[in-house]
Structure 1
Amino acid sequence: DLEVIVLDREGRVVIGDPNHLGGELARRTAERSDGFAIDTLPDGRTMVIGTSRASGGRGIDGLGWQIVVTSSADIAFAPVRELRRQIIAAGGIVGLMVLAAGWWVAGRIASPLQAIAARADRVGLAEALDGVVIEVPKNSSKEVVSLGASLQGMIDRLADNEEALKHLANTLEHRVAVRTAELETANRALSQARDDAVAATAAKSRFLAAASHDLRQPLHALSLFANALARRVQGEEPRRLVANMETTLGSLQDMFNALLDVSRLDAGIVEAEPRTFVIGDLLARVSAGFRAQAAAHGLEFHLVPSRLAVVSDPILVETILRNVVTNALKFTPSGKVLVGVRRRGDAAILEVHDTGPGVAEEDRERVFEEFERSKQAAHGQNDGLGLGLSIVRRLCNLLGHRISLTSRRGRGTVFRVELPLAPRDLPSVETPVAEPAVSLDGRRILILDDEPMIVEALAGMLRDDGATVIAATSSEEASAALSAAADIDLAVIDLQLERGNDGLELIDRWRRDGAFNRPALIVTGATDPGTLARLQASGVTWLTKPVAVPVLRAAVARLMA
């Protein structure tokens, strides 16, 4: 298996078997540098081929021939394979020894750790950590002993913390129980206070309703008598006295009207009916009556004309304006009151300026509360119930209008109400034509009230206007009058009649029986929210006592037209 061959530079065999390498392998071998390589001979054998080129010596150039030695690869690498087997065998023995040593060491370390882990697992199952001990096997290493001691220290600290947490939990439970008891006591007190407040409010409402009804009856009669007296007295002094009496009655009527407005708002029967109108026309009409009032107090009253068209309920806006201007006149001892409107973006700002003492910063919300009055700032007779501005705010909330005030102490106050401007494409509002006066001459009117004084006063007013009056103080008397005189044109009836009879029910019974099918007017002193809601839903025209004579005449004329 060992052959020696000499090749020249072109790969031709100079010495040796020319077929041993073959032509192609011989040429490649001739080009190699010194060394060895593994190649396959033409006959398929794998051989190790070593090469060394002859380079001459002692100053003589060599021929450059390649000396080639071939040997079987199996024989050449046999020592290497033997050494590899020996190394593998030795490695296996060493690995087994290491494995055995590791097993022994692992057993010596793991066994105590497993024992500690087992005891540590039982810590989680223990109801209390106090008394739990981690036992380390006697043959354990120092490291395991140290680990066991650390774990035991941790368990002891956990036991201490557990005890502290139990104490804290008990303390917190006690505090929570005490606090809960205090809150329950406070809640019971608050609930009782709320019930007391509700009961007090209900009692106040019942008192106001009863007192209002009882006071309205004589005041209504007094207003009618004063009006009749004004038409009959002669002479400057008597007329002045009657005028003063009517002014005082007007103040009382304003108070009752304020209570009525609150009752109507509480009953939810005030409904906004927005429409387009020129705000300046409303201001001019309302201001005409305030000029004389301002002059009587020695004040100047100015109105800034405006042709701005707004969208709102003109009746409710008039109520707002009257209350604000009345408040300004009442609390302005000297100077002037100015009413006007200015445009701001898409809104018309209704403003009422006065030169009164102003409103303190801390009182600017309180002035809108019910029954809030400032006696120190008012001048003259301090009439009123302190309801005007509270009604203003509630009406503004109903209409969706923002109300605000600005004030400077000693310089005056400005109230502002924001009204939405009308779209430009809406048609202008025509001034309504005044309704022609309706004569009561020859008209037959039935009056029913269980108060004889009111019947007498109302009958006198209607007779002065030319009507024929049939007066009754009981339901039976009125029913009998209807049976005797079928040509009654109008019935003016009180709501709360004698022995619990009801005016609305009486009218309904008359109409069901066919005894009466003409207009009816309810005039009542009841102003509680339930009654007002019932009247509103009845469809019957109604007024609340005391009724100003012009308002009563207008209602009668409207129903008789």
Structure 2
Amino acid sequence: MSSAGVAPRPWIAERLGITGGRRDAEHGQALVRLVLVPLFGIYIIVVLSFDGFNTIGEGLAVLAVIVYAPVSVVLFWHIVQRPGYFVWRRMLAMFGDYGAMTLAMAAGGMTMLPVYATLLWVTVGNGMRFGSRYLLAATCMALAAIAIATIFNAQWRAEPFVVVTLVLTTLIVPAYIDNLQRALRGALDEARAASQAKSNFLAQASHDLRQPIHAISLFTACLRDAGLGREERQMVENIDRSLHSVAGLFRSLLDIATLDSGKVEPKLAPVCVGDVIADVVRQYSEMAQWADVDLRAVPCGLVVRTDAALLSTMLQNIVSNALKYAPEAPVLIGCRRRGGRVAIEVHDRGPGIPEDHLGQVFDEFYQVRERGDRDVEGVGLGLSIVRRVGGLMGLEVGLRSTPGRGTSVVISGLEPCRNAAKPAVSATATAPSAVSGLRVLLIEDDEDVLLATATLLQKWGCVVEAQTGIPKTANAWDVMITDYDLGGRKTGADCILAVRKLVGRPIPAIIVTGHDETRVQRDLGDDTVPILAKPVRPAELRSVLTTEMVAAHH
């Protein structure tokens, strides 16, 4: 889905049958055959029975249709059991289709002329579903069917202009369809290229703009601890709040660009729902204070099989929307069992959504605005991201709202899991002394970010060794913090491997990145390494640092 709102969806090509032989196309053709063959057989039997089956050909036509019915079922079963691209299976089906229609047209006189409509439909269908080469093969088979039927059908031979019309139609219609398909393929290719270029631009722009925002955020945290006066501290809080808003915008753009790339693959594992909810509440606690919102969560010990990162992304967007659109109103998050599955519910007591907006709130860039409403930050991507991510994991997202009483968003369809979720290592990070004395290797190729991060860590009491690239000599580091893109075709994953080899032990590591976390996790191949998205909240960085050290000492 495009963040421009008009780029092509992948399913368009599949619906138009220009997928180059995907399972859906062959599966669809087999389903059509299951419906047409019985109808085709009923028509032939009814029409020919009026004449009493006077010729051997008529009897053979009826027999062929009766035999072909179970053959169609076998073909469908084979496609379901062994999906994929099998030329022999497609050609076998085509020969069966055209053979049955040829026999009917040859044996039934002018009464079988309507069968030609089915023949033309099948010809065009093969081309639409499987491509130009199959359309050419199908057109040749259709012409052969007309020729054979004319040879054995005296009534057709008596009407040469009818036969000529059939031949011309068989040539012109598929050729016209093929030209339309080629034009459509070209337009789709151009649209895909434009959509991909746009997605790449959004991803790169989001990454590049996060760098200075990340640095500003860290410098702001340093200022907060610099003994400022009341007025200066309030200005720092305002700057921090604005940075938080901008960071949310870039996170939404990056999420959309990542979803557009088609590379998001859920990694399902046992996850405690309560841990995910608690983490989201912690992340948005400061934003809730700014909005004067009582953000609470009902404790939940249920374990489900899901992707924790993607589920967290869904909840983040829902909670962010609730805080923006329902300020000064309580927000409650909880989960419950529904029909053997688990659902997560987010309820707010805000102004609610008018009924005429409910059908569009999941559209990209759509914002609920009424005349005279105050401006709300954001670009209207939150719920669109929620529904798209939910679709990747087979989850349903529903929304109920009553004007004046509030809005409820429900994520349903989570599969309960009996396996124990991976326990989270508890760590309190309320005081800088929790990481005081840590020897930190900091690797970051952006000098502003490097300086800001090092300054903040030093204010917390850490002993920092700052590097712009992978170090050459070992030192007694307790933990390493590295950016993902380090230049020179090196990444944070390469850096972690090199440093661990250098020190001869699995030193705890943290990756900080402006890229999609799923992509970085896939490249890293180690889900024990925390990945923090830029701009990182100082409290989050401190918490993860503490957690890593607690885990290392266990």
TM-score (norm 2): 0.58
Q: Distance in 2 between matches of 1:250 and 1:235?
A: 22
Q: Distance in 1 between matches of 2:481 and 2:276?
A: 31
Aligned pairs for 1:84-483 (under 5 A) are: 165-259=159-253, 261=255, 266-268=262-264, 270-275=266-271, 309=302, 311=304, 317-332=311-326, 346=340, 349-354=343-348, 355-356=350-351, 358=353, 360=355, 364=359, 366-369=360-363, 371-374=364-367, 376=369, 380-407=374-401, 413-418=407-412, 434=427, 439-475=434-470, 478-479=471-472, 482-483=473-474
Partner of 1:168, secondary structure, is helix
Instruction: Evaluate the alpha carbon distance shift between residue 232 and residue 531 of structure 1 in structure 2; reply closer, same or farther with a 3 A threshold.
Output: same
Deviation of 1:523 after TM superposition, in Å, equals 2.1
Contact 2:298 2:332 (8 Å CA) reproduced: no
> Alignment partner for residue 545 of structure 1, among 529, 534, 548?
534
Q: After superposition, what is the alpha-carbon deviation per residue over 1:245-277, rounded to whole angstroms, capped at 9, x for unaligned?
A: 111111222233345555676544542333456
Q: Distance in 2 between matches of 1:421 and 1:507?
A: 35
Aligned pairs for 1:40-59 (under 5 A) are: none
Q: Distance in 2 between matches of 1:524 and 1:208?
A: 16
Any stretches of 5+ residues in structure 1 without a counterpart?
Answer: 1-158
* One-letter code aligned to 1:463: Q
Instruction: Evaluate the alpha carbon distance shift between residue 339 and residue 552 of structure 1 in structure 2; reply closer, same or farther with a 3 A threshold.
Output: closer
Q: Distance in 2 between matches of 1:326 and 1:174?
A: 62
Contact 1:324 1:389 (8 Å CA) reproduced: yes
Instruction: Evaluate the alpha carbon distance shift between residue 185 and residue 333 of structure 1 in structure 2; reply closer, same or farther with a 3 A threshold.
Output: farther
Contact 1:264 1:529 (8 Å CA) reproduced: no
Which protein shows a greater Rg? 1
* One-letter code aligned to 1:245: I
Any stretches of 5+ residues in structure 2 without a counterpart?
Answer: 1-152
Q: Distance in 2 between matches of 1:541 and 1:389?
A: 26
Contact 2:443 2:469 (8 Å CA) reproduced: yes
Deviation of 1:231 after TM superposition, in Å, equals 1.2
Q: Distance in 1 between matches of 2:532 and 2:285?
A: 28
Q: Distance in 1 between matches of 2:279 and 2:427?
A: 14
- 309-318 or 226-235: bigger deviation: 309-318
Instruction: Evaluate the alpha carbon distance shift between residue 333 and residue 440 of structure 1 in structure 2; reply closer, same or farther with a 3 A threshold.
Output: closer
Q: After superposition, what is the alpha-carbon deviation per residue over 1:206-254, rounded to whole angstroms, capped at 9, x for unaligned?
A: 2122212211211111110011111115222211111111111112222
Deviation of 1:398 after TM superposition, in Å, equals 5.0
* One-letter code aligned to 1:165: E
* One-letter code aligned to 1:331: Y
Q: Distance in 1 between matches of 2:397 and 2:221?
A: 38
Indicate the residue corresponding to 1:33 in structure 2: none
Contact 1:272 1:398 (8 Å CA) reproduced: no
Q: After superposition, what is the alpha-carbon deviation per residue over 1:338-365, rounded to whole angstroms, capped at 9, x for unaligned?
A: 656666554555444455452656863x
State the identity %.
32
Instruction: Evaluate the alpha carbon distance shift between residue 274 and residue 188 of structure 1 in structure 2; reply closer, same or farther with a 3 A threshold.
Output: same
Query: Which of the two has greater helix per residue?
Result: 2
Larger RCO: 1 or 2 (CA < 8 Å, sep 6+):
2
Instruction: Evaluate the alpha carbon distance shift between residue 358 and residue 164 of structure 1 in structure 2; reply closer, same or farther with a 3 A threshold.
Output: farther
Q: Distance in 2 between matches of 1:472 and 1:427?
A: 40
Instruction: Evaluate the alpha carbon distance shift between residue 164 and residue 408 of structure 1 in structure 2; reply closer, same or farther with a 3 A threshold.
Output: farther
Query: Which of the two has greater strand per residue?
Result: 1
* One-letter code aligned to 1:489: D
Contact 1:276 1:310 (8 Å CA) reproduced: yes
Instruction: Evaluate the alpha carbon distance shift between residue 410 and residue 534 of structure 1 in structure 2; reply closer, same or farther with a 3 A threshold.
Output: same
Contact 1:267 1:533 (8 Å CA) reproduced: no
Indicate the residue corresponding to 1:533 in structure 2: 522
Q: Distance in 2 between matches of 1:221 and 1:494?
A: 13
Aligned pairs for 1:467-506 (under 5 A) are: 467-475=462-470, 478-479=471-472, 482-483=473-474, 486-506=475-495
Q: Distance in 2 between matches of 1:556 and 1:304?
A: 25
Q: Distance in 2 between matches of 1:398 and 1:368?
A: 15
Instruction: Evaluate the alpha carbon distance shift between residue 501 and residue 467 of structure 1 in structure 2; reply closer, same or farther with a 3 A threshold.
Output: same
Contact 1:310 1:348 (8 Å CA) reproduced: no
* One-letter code aligned to 2:251: N
Deviation of 1:549 after TM superposition, in Å, equals 1.0
Deviation of 1:451 after TM superposition, in Å, equals 1.4
Give the root-mean-square deviation of aligned CA atoms.
4.3
Deviation of 1:538 after TM superposition, in Å, equals 8.1
* One-letter code aligned to 1:326: S
Partner of 2:269, secondary structure, is coil
* One-letter code aligned to 2:461: G
* One-letter code aligned to 2:222: A
- State how many pairs are aligned: 392
* One-letter code aligned to 1:462: L
Indicate the residue corresponding to 1:520 in structure 2: 509
Deviation of 1:420 after TM superposition, in Å, equals 6.0
